Chain A
């Protein structure tokens, strides 16, 4: 039988990794993914406690977490689209000017070397064209 401590420790490590991601990363979408990761850790805690107490209230609570997570992602994604429309970027540091006046601006740590910007998305050839040789469209 697996001890309750094993489930709780895994959940706490999931929460910690999510916390690190939330504090360090700068892309808004990754921040929200990290929040969802932390919620997964919490949900695992609830279900483990429910199992080891022989009570389904923890599972019901996890269902409530799902409802709140769904609401949160709906609102957050609408908000991200709105911010993107204003700033043309997903970097959350752009909105640092919203903070209380008079506070020092925390600098972001830039990458150590000059980063070669590579293509993030794969480029597919246009449909109907056999890949492998040049066409007029390029």
Chain B
């Protein structure tokens, strides 16, 4: 029914191939200096093309995109250095780099509490513990264990196959907001109670008419992009009919703007909004309003700011606290118990039997 054009995503196949070769050459089995320049060049090329591919349809270089690129590049370079480094102590330090730049990404996602927690828990506690154990267990010379690898080519190619599948699914499922804008316009139109309110949203004398938005919905590559919502019971033919109905009602409303024709138009608009584009409808969301927008609300009906980003609670810490101690009370109790058991367990495992001389 829906044509998945895999050829369109040819850049990702080349990217995966490039990544496989670069990572295979970078793995620490090749300590010799033969391909040194080649493998560093390939790795840089891979990361750069990955970044460029992510923002291939961005209009302008905003400061947000710049920050995102810096943080994610540093995170990826740190991750690569963790895996390719022969010396475990340096790997642990590279992991700190990853953690700090990922917490920068958390800050961009407006999660300052998680940023602080990540730095404290990971960079503070976990890395120090790792280094401590390393100090206890590692000899002072580079061992052969740190240079040998197991099945490097198989592991790299299988992992990058996984990467390719994930990225393709991400591109198919959550590709940028081609659908969101017309759907949002239609949703706003369906909320209007009277013809006057409706005319305020869609002024018939202005360019941004409902007709145009609905046509845009129709023209989205032969409804191909409707796969942005997981498929459910509604078929695409059905949605096509609904779009036709809206267009017909809108034409009759424009010809004859009175109460009854408006009511018909609104009814058809609501039908289109609640069709959810085949999204599987969850009957009831399990979380309360304390956690924010319920998960059963389709993404075009979420309240958004001008840039199209959902409105998130201004006070992040208190929002998390509300959610933790209302919706997730049992989970946090269980997490506390888990930490207690882990403490006891690690003491029991690592204790040495004392023998009296």
Residues of chain A touching chain B, judged by Cβ–Cβ distance below 8 Å, are: 1-10, 12-21, 23-27, 29-30, 32-34, 36-37, 40, 43-44, 47-48, 50-57, 59-60, 62-64, 66-75, 77-82, 84-85, 89-91, 93, 106, 108-113, 115, 117-121
Contact = CB atoms under 8 A, between A and B. Distances in A.
Contacts of A113: 31-32
A12 B324 contact: no
Contacts of A53: 292-293, 295, 299, 302, 310
| Interface of chain A: mostly helix, strand, loop or mixed | helix
30 contacts: A2-B65, A3-B177, A5-B54, A8-B170, A8-B174, A16-B160, A19-B162, A23-B150, A23-B158, A23-B159, A29-B133, A34-B83, A37-B83, A51-B312, A53-B293, A54-B292, A54-B310, A56-B316, A57-B291, A73-B126, A73-B129, A75-B349, A77-B130, A78-B347, A89-B145, A108-B148, A108-B149, A110-B144, A111-B31, A111-B148
B163 A112 contact: no
Contacts of A44: 102, 105-106
A55 B286 CA distance: 12
Interface stretch (B89-97, B196-204, B212-220): B89-97
B72 interface: yes
A23 to B, nearest CB: 4
Contacts, number: 326
Contact of A78 (B98, B144, B350): B350
Q: How many B residues touch the partner, as a band? A: 35 or more
Residue of B30, B114, B341 contacting most chain A CB atoms (<10 Å): B114
Nearest to B286: A57
Given A34-B82, A37-B82, A117 B141 contact: yes
Given A33-B82, A56-B312, A91-B143, 7 more contacts: A9-B170, A33-B88, A37-B82, A37-B95, A57-B323, A108-B150, A120-B141
A56 B291 contact: yes
A59 B343 CA distance: 25
B111 interface: yes
Contacts of A50: 109, 111, 292
A21 B82 contact: yes
Interface of B: 23, 27-32, 50, 54-55, 64-65, 68, 72, 75-76, 79-80, 82-83, 87-89, 91-92, 95, 98-99, 102, 105-106, 108-111, 113-114, 117-118, 121-122, 125-126, 129-130, 133-134, 136-152, 155-156, 158-160, 162-163, 166-167, 170-171, 174-177, 287, 291-295, 299, 302-303, 307-313, 316, 319-320, 323-324, 327-328, 331, 335, 338-339, 341-343, 345-347, 349-350, 352
Nearest to A84: B137
Nearest to B27: A24
Nearest to A55: B292
Nearest to B32: A113
B130 A33 contact: yes
A56 B295 contact: no
A6 B54 contact: yes
Given A1-B309, A33-B92, A112-B32, A9 B342 contact: no
Given A51-B111, A66-B121, A23 B155 contact: yes
